[in-house]
A and B are shown apart, each in its own frame.
Chain A
Amino acid sequence: MTLAPNATSPISHIVTTNVDKNQPGRSAWKAVTTPFRAVSRPLSISLSVLVWVAVIGGWFALTYSGAVKEMFLPRPESVLITTINMALDGSLWEHVLASVQVVLIGFVISSVVAVPLGLTMGTYRIVQAALDPLVNFIRYLPVTSFVPLFILWIGIGIEQRVAVIIFGIFFQQLVMIADSARGVQRDLVNAAYTLGTKRGDTVFHIVFPATLPNVLDVLRVTMGWAWTYLVVAELVAARSGLGYISLKAMRGFQVDVIFMAIALIGILGLCTDQLFRGIRRLVAPWAN
């Protein structure tokens, strides 16, 4: 009665026993060039910091050397100063809040429908037969081409931006969630039947928990797409938001503001990504 031993692959075993103690440099090289082999935490952190430093350093070099005019590429510190100024006068928060609001409303409405419908579609062939061709057709329609249509139908209020986001992510969510429901191991469902699960309870008791880690991953990924579609919507018709200030800044040649908006969307995206990873760890602890 022992726990399953942690998998030590035969490869790593061979590597550690064959290391020549007299040649530490060579064995370290061998270690980091072995496919799929883990690297130490300090090494992985220093590498990611190094890449960031290189990118920002390159930015400094390009602007300070005069290689690129400041009209096209602002200096890093002017982006920072602009950000601080807009944060102090409050306009930054107003735009961030406007964007976050649109993304959240669109994402929540889309997900609340897509999750149950996707699970049903993946579980019941009859629902799949009915919806699959239509959904796959719509999925390939370019969202951007619908923006004028939405403006015509819904106007230029927040509803229009929300609609763009829903249209952009809903069908993708539906297809991916249905796929993961279809992938549920049949014998898991069979076992549930022999334990007294009713046919009608299968989606709730088996398919839903079995796909929960996958569903959360789908939500995390589509949240990123929601940010993309937000900018599309705000570029065309909006009075506030990060996409809107980018467009306004372009007209006034304020490149630093555009950079700020892009960086902020990146940071917000990173935050929601981490949030979803946290939620996944919390509600699906078995899948870590």
Chain B
Amino acid sequence: MDAMTLATKPKSADIGIDNVVLRYGKGDNAVLALDGISFHVVPNEFCVIVGPSGCGKSSLLYLIAGLEERTGGMISVGGKPVTEPGPDRGMVFQAYTLFPWLTVAQNVEYGPKRQGMPAAERRTIVEHFLQEVGLAKFANHYPSQLSGGMKQRVAIARALANDPQVLLMDEPFGALDSQTRHSMQKLLLRIWDHSKKTVLFVTHDIDEAILLADRVLVMSGRPGQIKKEIRVGFSRPRSMDLVMEPNFIAMKREILELLKNDEDDEH
């Protein structure tokens, strides 16, 4: 399997979230984190969830990844109900989660190696994805030698190297400065365009949400619910200058209003 067939062989699935409930604790101390969330992400879609911190948007990703257990409802990926974590759902975390004891190349190789892929094939994949995130020269560096943006690029390459059906991204650029964040957004859109994975991306940055998404789901907090679904019709490829267009600003204002109402409700 060479780089070309890799790039032209998309494998992506839909995500079904049906009446999902997540409750922490028991009795009087119980906290309702997610209250009957339902939505559907179609294959190849770039779907972004935006919401205030603590609204349960990250928890929702952890549930889809199978890293946490839901209290109720149904989650399926590619028609298969989620019961535990698996390599079909790749994830990029907000915290830096590269394995510090492995080099960049070994980090990217980790997933395929666990799946028992032969070494020669793994090498091709590592080369392809490091090229894709522009870090081929850093293959033999350790994560501690990389900047924050580079670490997250490797994390994206590592998640994609496993050829997952969906890519879950939990505020992956949250800790980066705004310049790095912009270049990461561009890079992610380019990679998504090549791989055509289903992406479910969580952020609290409204600009980021509109720039990236086919569809934005606005979430309210405590308990977490989907407040509104907004289709983002801007043509692709998108330029970062989009943020200055009136349509963009109108959409941003709408989302801001939705999140503001949420804040007012709380007081």
Contact = CB atoms under 8 A, between A and B. Distances in A.
Interface of A: 1-4, 185, 187-188, 190-197, 205-206, 209-210, 212, 284-287
Contact of A185 (B91, B97, B134): B97
Interface in B73-114: 85-87, 89-91, 93, 95, 97, 99-102, 110-111, 114
B158 A195 contact: yes
Interface in B137-173: 142-148, 150, 155, 158-159, 162, 168
B111 A195 contact: yes
B99 A188 contact: yes
Nearest to B110: A195
A200 to B, nearest CB: 12
A196 B159 CA distance: 11
A231 to B, nearest CB: 37
Given A2-B147, A3-B145, A4-B146, A194 B101 contact: no
Given A185-B97, A187-B97, A190-B93, 16 more contacts: A1-B134, A2-B147, A4-B148, A185-B95, A188-B99, A190-B62, A190-B65, A191-B97, A193-B65, A194-B85, A194-B89, A194-B90, A195-B87, A195-B90, A284-B101, A286-B143
Contacts of A193: 65-67, 85
B239 interface: no
A89 B144 CA distance: 53
B115 interface: yes
Given A194-B87, A195-B110, A286 B97 contact: no
A4 B114 contact: no
A196 B86 contact: yes
Nearest to B158: A195
Nearest to A206: B99
Contacts of A286: 100-101, 142-144
Interface of B: 62, 65-67, 85-87, 89-91, 93, 95, 97, 99-102, 110-111, 114-115, 134-135, 142-148, 150, 155, 158-159, 162, 168
Nearest to B65: A194
B168 to A, nearest CB: 8
Contacts of A4: 145-148, 150
A3 B87 contact: no
Contacts of B99: 188, 191-192, 206, 209-210
A5 to B, nearest CB: 8
A196 B162 contact: yes
Contacts of A212: 101
Contacts of B95: 185, 187
Given A209-B99, A210-B100, A284-B101, A196 B91 contact: no
Contacts of A191: 91, 93, 97, 99, 155
Contacts of A188: 97, 99
B80 to A, nearest CB: 15
